[in-house]
């Protein structure tokens, strides 16, 4: 005998008690995010999120892609004062097995999520000095953050606490000179943004669960005998199973009341928009660039405000990571004294053809650049064969 049938007999034997309501799992109080997640059977993870789990949130992946994509598009060079020098293999293809873009992408990704990145030195140039007995690095390979462990001494007053590095794939520990370590000025996103990312994940799960509900959310009201919580849960389960297998369900001594929930409520539009906006704040990315806003309608990204938005994005989200790369690659242990490494941010910001053309013409009119240099800014081949400029970059 099913639970609904046993419930009918019990109701006939006893007097009518106070009504008891068994709430369907798909129902919830509108406007309450905590109750929505609870009723959707979604639990926030107790532990911190991992990088792969964080990237499953579309907004997190979009912010990461925007920052990494901007970094790999920017040219990089070496200079001594106002003199531009040959960048050398370390700034063109440090890893012989992959490209500069892939190396920078992995480095910036680690800086974003963990606040630290590592390169292992593969070769030196042999220009010996007292500080660099083997010369300066000319080949290096990026290793993921979780494959490198820094070994330090316990003496906090030591001049340098760093003893060696343990790197996956190497049989022995590497001395500090064999590893280039990039330390971010800010902690990684996973160190302080775990709760925000967890909430975004929970909202996405709740929206998917509500979208998969075939039965309209509602309540079953007991019109007969008192039931235990287990019996009530079994009645709800049998009712949901009957509605899933058939278009109708037989009820006796139980009333069903449908709860009207709009598709907007089922998709948690407002909650997902707020979560997306909070995620963009973790990366300092302008909300308009990922189409997120607290109201659910992204602020318009128009041609008129494109330059300002792009400049804000570079200064707030990209520049902190570029500064770490520049200062680390300009250290005396990596670059000869007096030389420095810098990324060409201005060329990236002048990606708009009209703005780039005006910039080049203004510089040429002020006699600050030559005709060939102005053509190089615009990606037009130079008129002379010697000392040709690379199109699209500032030389």
Dump pLDDT digits (tens) for 153-199: 877 777 778 889 999 989 999 999 999 999 998 889 998 888 889 88
Q: What is the DSSP letter of 43?
A: -
* pLDDT value for 301: 61
On whether residue 355 sits in a domain, the answer given is: yes
Q: What is the DSSP letter of 379?
A: T
On whether residue 332 sits in a domain, the answer given is: no
- Residue-number span of the structural domain to which 389 is assigned: 350-395
Residue ranges with strand state E in 225-299 = 254-258
Query: Cβ of 103: how many Cβ atoms within 10 Å?
Result: 19
Dihedral (Cα; 311, 185, 85, 370), 10-degree rounding = 20
Give the SS3 label for residue 257. strand
Query: Cβ of 179: how many Cβ atoms within 10 Å?
Result: 19
Strand partners, 150: 165
Average model confidence (pLDDT) across the chain = 75
157: CB partners within 8 A, 6+ apart: none
* pLDDT value for 153: 84
76: CB partners within 8 A, 6+ apart: 87, 91, 341, 342, 343, 344
Give the integer Cα–Cα distance in Å for 57 and 310. Answer: 23
Please, are residues 44 and 202 in contact by the beta-carbon 8 Å criterion? Answer: yes
On whether residue 371 sits in a domain, the answer given is: yes
On whether residue 356 sits in a domain, the answer given is: yes
Number of domains in the chain: 1
On whether residue 380 sits in a domain, the answer given is: yes
* pLDDT value for 41: 38
Residues of the chain with pLDDT under 70: 1-48, 130, 209-220, 222-225, 243-244, 246-254, 256-269, 292-306, 350-353, 355, 376-395
Give the integer Cα–Cα distance in Å for 90 and 81. Answer: 20
On whether residue 385 sits in a domain, the answer given is: yes
Give the SS3 label for residue 275. helix
On whether residue 362 sits in a domain, the answer given is: yes
Roughly what angle, to the nearest 10 degrees, separates helices 58-73 and 194-211?
A: 130
On whether residue 238 sits in a domain, the answer given is: no
pTM for the model: 0.68
């Amino acid at each position: 005998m099913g639970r609904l049938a046993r419930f009918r007999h019990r109701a006939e034997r006893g007097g009518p008690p106070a009504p008891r309501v068994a709430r369907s799992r798909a129902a919830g109080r509108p406007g309450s995010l905590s109750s929505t997640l609870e009723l959707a059977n979604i639990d926030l993870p107790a532990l911190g999120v991992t990088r792969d789990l964080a990237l499953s949130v579309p907004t997190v992946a979009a912010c990461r892609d925007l920052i990494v994509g901007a970094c790999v598009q920017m040219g990089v060079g070496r200079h001594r004062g106002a003199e531009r020098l040959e960048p050398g293999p370390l700034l063109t293809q440090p890893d012989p097995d992959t490209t500069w873009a892939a190396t920078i992408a992995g480095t910036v990704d680690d800086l974003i999520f963990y606040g630290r990145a590592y390169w292992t030195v593969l070769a030196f140039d042999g220009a010996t000095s007292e500080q660099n007995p083997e010369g300066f690095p000319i080949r290096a390979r990026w290793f993921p953050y979780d494959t490198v462990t820094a070994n330090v001494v316990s003496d906090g007053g030591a001049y340098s606490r760093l003893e060696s590095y343990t790197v996956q794939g190497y049989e022995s520990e590497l001395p500090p000179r064999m590893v280039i370590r990039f330390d971010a000025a800010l902690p990684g996103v996973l160190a302080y943004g775990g709760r925000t990312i967890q909430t975004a994940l929970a909202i996405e799960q709740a929206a998917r669960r509500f979208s998969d509900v075939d039965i309209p959310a509602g309540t079953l009201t007991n019109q007969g005998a008192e039931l235990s919580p287990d019996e009530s849960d079994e009645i709800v389960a049998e009712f949901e199973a009957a509605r899933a297998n058939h278009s109708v369900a037989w009820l006796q001594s139980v009333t069903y009341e449908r709860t009207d929930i709009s598709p907007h409520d089922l998709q948690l539009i407002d909650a997902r928009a707020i979560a997306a906006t909070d995620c963009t704040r973790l990366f300092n990315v302008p909300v308009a660039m990922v189409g997120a806003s607290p109201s659910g309608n992204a602020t318009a990204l128009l041609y008129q405000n494109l330059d300002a938005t792009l400049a804000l994005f570079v200064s707030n989200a990209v520049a902190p990571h570029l500064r770490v790369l520049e200062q680390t690659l300009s250290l005396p242990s990596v670059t000869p004294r007096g030389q420095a490494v810098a990324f060409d941010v201005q060329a990236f910001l002048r990606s708009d053809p009209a703005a780039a053309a005006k910039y080049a013409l203004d510089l040429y009119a002020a006699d600050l650049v030559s005709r060939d240099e102005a053509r190089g800014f615009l990606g037009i081949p130079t008129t002379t064969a010697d000392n040709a400029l690379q199109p699209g970059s500032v030389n």
